[in-house]
Chains A and B, each alone.
Chain A
């Protein structure tokens, strides 16, 4: 069973389109994250949700809107896609509280904007 899953794995789209990436975890975690990995493989946090509440919003353009329908899901919707949005987007999850140490990552969604 996949612990953290993302769909789709690959996404190729035109500039200006709107797209969504879905993430689900079956680890029973209460905190979920979105990270962006750029073309130089640098990883940076975008958002974090704890119990469906937004706790990190790392100066991401408001074209990016995360949504957490429940603790096990964190989706990422991107409006008006731009060339610079091309990257790999990773979802991760962890427990909060004193044991909030290990974040488990999904396989990534490779987004290419043409």
Chain B
């Protein structure tokens, strides 16, 4: 079975500091991995996705993630945090054999201090 684990339910950084949100996956087949962002009282917006084309994936708003098979990780980073980055972030893996459903991690709330 596929699964995703996000380490840290809450991460706090200062404005301008590096953002690092951790995601580890479990999958017996090459995974399709996603990062979504959810701003307060809004839906989920795709930040970026890994579909085996390149291990370093660049997304919107300056975010990027690196797929590391040896570490079964897909951590999300941004060099310099902005106040507007404060939100909930979800890592997800797409199921291969169950209708393509997304299996989500527990989410990480990012706070940005001025």
A41 touching B49, Cβ below 8 Å = no
Q: B30 in the interface, Cβ–Cβ < 8 Å? A: no
A96 nearest in chain B by CB position = B100
Q: B45 in the interface, Cβ–Cβ < 8 Å? A: yes
Query: Chain A, interface size: which category?
Result: 20 to 34
Encode contact with B along A65-93: 1 for CB under 8 Å, 0 otherwise: 00000000000000000000000001010
Find B100's partner among A4, A43, A94 (CB 8 Å cutoff).
A94
Q: Which residues of B contact A4 (CB under 8 A)?
A: 43
Q: How many residues of B contact A (CB 8 A)?
A: 24
Most buried by B among A42, A58, A102: A102
Bound CA–CA A100/B49 (angstroms): 12
B43 touching A50, Cβ below 8 Å = no
A57 nearest in chain B by CB position = B99
Bound CA–CA A96/B101 (angstroms): 11
Find A107's partner among B43, B94, B104 (CB 8 Å cutoff).
B43
CB within 8 Å for A48 and B99 given contacts A90-B43, A108-B43:
yes
User: Total A-B pairs in contact (CB under 8 Å)?
Assistant: 59
Q: A15 in the interface, Cβ–Cβ < 8 Å? A: no
Bound CA–CA A90/B98 (angstroms): 19
Most buried by A among B42, B44, B106: B44
A31 touching B42, Cβ below 8 Å = no
A31 touching B100, Cβ below 8 Å = yes
Binding site for B on A (CB under 8 A): 4, 31, 33, 35, 40-45, 48, 50, 55-56, 58, 90, 92, 94, 96, 100-108, 110
Binding site for A on B (CB under 8 A): 32, 34, 36, 38, 41-46, 49, 51, 88, 90, 94, 98-104, 106-107
Please name the 3 residue pairs, one residue from A and one from B, whose CB atoms are nearest each other, closest first.
A56-B99, A105-B44, A45-B101
Provide 27 A-B residue pairs closer than 8 Å at the C-beta atoms, listed in order of the A residue: A31-B100, A40-B106, A41-B38, A41-B106, A42-B106, A42-B107, A43-B44, A43-B90, A43-B107, A44-B104, A45-B101, A48-B99, A48-B101, A56-B99, A90-B43, A90-B44, A92-B102, A94-B100, A101-B32, A101-B49, A102-B49, A104-B46, A105-B36, A107-B42, A108-B41, A108-B42, A110-B41
